[in-house]
Structure 1
């Protein structure tokens, strides 16, 4: 797959032996590729790429095969074409960025470390109070490990290695305590996790709301670049 297909690689959730993850199915038609991946970052998803004409023929067939609960996602222009051209498909939520990098961050993440069980319990409290909507939270399926940074005895910022697969590590659940915001700690935990993911998988990626400028700036400081993405879903009657 080419350099613009990181979301396809991620959706495959490949194992160390090169096989796709449990329940993952890959479909092709002409230039279009669709990877249906169950329970990926909190949802059943279909990563889509290719020319719009081919995708318009492929995606309806995939939805009939895997079921209407799956949500296509990919480049915003392609998803827009699918919403306009596939009956019963509607835009799902606001635009977001798919961000990725294959480069190790240029600066160190001083003070950040992988959390132990006690640290993960503290992270759960951080989410309960300040980011309850996050798909990635301690103890949830697909969340592998947490990195964090402390101030005295208080956990101030965390980020997770979650839903990573061979060829594409994934970062999620980046949150900082309100009193610690503006100190660059979100960027620090991001750099730490990105470095680990790139070294292990060759690529690190994440998804972030397109209007979340502070978070995007932090991820850019970790060396990531973004593309505008969209998602769609089958209209519920």
Structure 2
């Protein structure tokens, strides 16, 4: 097993896997990564609300890496990767339990749909909208890694639909905090805001990504229309 020290080394070790590159977060303070042959593990604290251990590769090698990672960074880090890998890993690592399956979606396509959405100058009104429309959102103003918010607004400038640039990394921008007021739903505003943020992330990073509940068919359909493709992923915990 060898430790990875740079984003370029991580890209090589993971064959450019965007989920692994995203977890690397440009090796901000606290991030560590290792590889063992074709297996890779990245420990990233406070990444999309959790301390995450992103993993990829053959399950036996990943199990060895995970054990070493837990020994070095702590057992609070939650393994995260392709769904079948996480299920297999939970069968091999003592004390590791499967938590949940969900979706990772990413795109390199630049959406070109018409939109009135724009970046906000600050985050005034964002917390109130999230509290009403998406209280379980991982992205909130002031949380580590949440950088800026975009919105579609009403005639008087009130926020109707929002999305955030949060936990973006070199090579992979990240879309989160998507929410639309109930009274404004069904008007295509979420697609406009997500399309705007996606285009901005692709222009800046070359790729945009997000995570989505696998049961949220409406959201997945919106993201597919914006050019995103779906990947089955999951998480586990000790």
The answer, yes or no, to whether TM exceeds 0.5 is yes
Identify the residue that residue 211 of structure 2 maps to in structure 1.
207
Deviation at 1:55, TM superposition (A): 1.0
Aligned residue in 1 for 2:109: 103
Give, in whole Å, the separation in 2 of the partners of 1:223 and 1:149: 20
Give the aligned partner of residue 142 of structure 1: 145
Q: How many residues align?
A: 225
- Name 2:56's counterpart in structure 1: 49
Query: Distance between the aligned counterparts of 2:161 and 2:197, measured in 1?
Result: 12
1:173 to 169, 172, 177: 177
- The aligned residue for residue 8 of structure 1 is 20
Give structure 2 stretches of 5+ with no counterpart.
Answer: 1-10
Alignment deviations for residues 74-95 of structure 1 (CA, whole Å, 9 cap, x no partner): 0000001101111100011x31
Structure 1 partner of 2:31: 24
**Deviating 4+ runs (over 3 angstroms):** 1-4
In angstroms, what is the RMSD of aligned CA positions? 1.3
Contact 2:35-2:41 at 8 Å conserved across structures = yes
Partner of 2:92: 85
Structure 2 CA distance, aligned partners of 1:121 and 1:68? Answer: 37
Matches of 2:184 and 2:222 in 1, distance apart? 14
Distance 2:95 2:233 in 1: 20
Q: Are the counterparts in 1 of residues 115 and 193 from structure 2 also a CA contact under 8 Å?
A: no
Unaligned runs of 5+ in 1: 15-19
The counterpart of 1:65, out of the listed 63, 72, 75, is: 72
Q: What do residues 30-77 of structure 1 show as CA deviations (whole Å, max 9, x unaligned)? A: 211001001111111011001112112221121121111100100000
Moved more, 179-188 or 205-214: 179-188
